[in-house]
Amino acid sequence: MKILVTGADGFIGSHLTEELVKKGYKVRTFVYYNSFNTWGWLDILPDSIMENVEIFQGDIRDPNGVEEAAKGMDAVFHLAALIAIPFSYYSPDTYVDTNIKGTLNILQAARKQNLKRVLITSTSEVYGTAQYVPIDEKHPFQGQSPYSATKIAADRLAESFYRSFGLPVTIVRPFNTYGPRQSARAVIPTIITQLLSGRTEIKLGSLTPTRDFNYVKDTVNGFISIYESDKTIGEEINIATQKEISIGDMAKELIKQINPNAQIVCDEQRLRPEKSEVNRLLGCNEKIMRLTGWKPQYDLEKGLAETISFFETNINKYKANIYNI
């Protein structure tokens, strides 16, 4: 099977590309065009992986390039998106263009090219603050940021193409993913990079929200398990550990592992508007386990150890002295 991965130059996309190649799939990666000819995190993958990867440079907002990239493919894993919540407060138009129009371009191209499977990447942020836990796929949606609103819209577009045209769509909804290569705009990397840079005052926003953290290798295996099951077509499926931890407790654990002398201080610019903050995310993983047999293989301790090890080796790639939005 020939698989197109959009957003392959990013955090989850690069791990997904790597694992698909290891499993013997033929992979074409859609990466964001730039004049430097850089391919994001794909640039650090070993030659043994990259010699089996076809690179397609383009812009997910351009329907012509997207359709060209889809030619000859059997399936698409659509991960390309803008995902930083604070940046969506400043640039909502860009999120509409990238997350909604970009997804529409993928759906249109997949329909024209008669792709056999279409996996659309959602986010647990579409649920907003939990109205009940664990959050299953029937939980109401709530747009608590421009980012989450555009992902809700993209999901509903994907559903409409399944119902209207019979396009074999699956909406994959990972809860908070972490691990090597993640941007410092996410909470775990921002804590780790501040600690590794020698800071003793770790700047964070709110400490009380809870999150359900997936290690990236578990998330990637969730994607592939969903793809390899015919039972998942037309479904929306969480990838979750069904465990939660507060941001404050997560920070304390990382401080304990890296620099026990560090302390947490509140940085007001990192606080979300009160009605925008998602206070609790705890996902239900019953559906993915029932339909695919997937189970998380990493506990938080093991996942954090691998993540810290990566950042220790690659700290020069991060700017720990600024607030990454």
Whether residue 235 lies inside any domain: the answer is: yes
**pLDDT, tens digit, for every residue of 55-67?**
999 999 999 999 9
What is the tally of structural domains in the chain? 1
Is residue 4 over pLDDT 90?
A: yes
**Residue 202 pLDDT level (bands cut at 50, 70, 90):** very high
**Within a domain: residue 250?**
no
Alpha helices in the chain (DSSP H): 11-22, 47-50, 63-70, 85-90, 92-95, 102-112, 146-165, 187-196, 216-227, 247-258, 286-292, 300-314
Task: Tell whether 278 is covered by a domain.
Answer: no
CATH number at residue 89: 3.40.50.720
Does residue 259 have a pLDDT over 90? yes
Span 108-133, average pLDDT: 98
57 within domain boundaries? yes
Residue 269 inside a domain? The answer is: no
Range of the domain at 167: 2-177+214-239
What's the pLDDT at 323? Answer: 86
What pLDDT sits at residue 220?
98
Give residue 320's pLDDT.
85
Confidence of residue 135 (pLDDT cuts 50, 70, 90): very high
Q: Does residue 303 lie within any of the structural domains?
A: no
Residue 106 lies in a domain: yes
pLDDT tens by residue, 8-52: 999 999 999 999 999 999 999 999 999 999 999 999 999 999 999
Query: In this structure, is residue 311 part of a structural domain?
Result: no
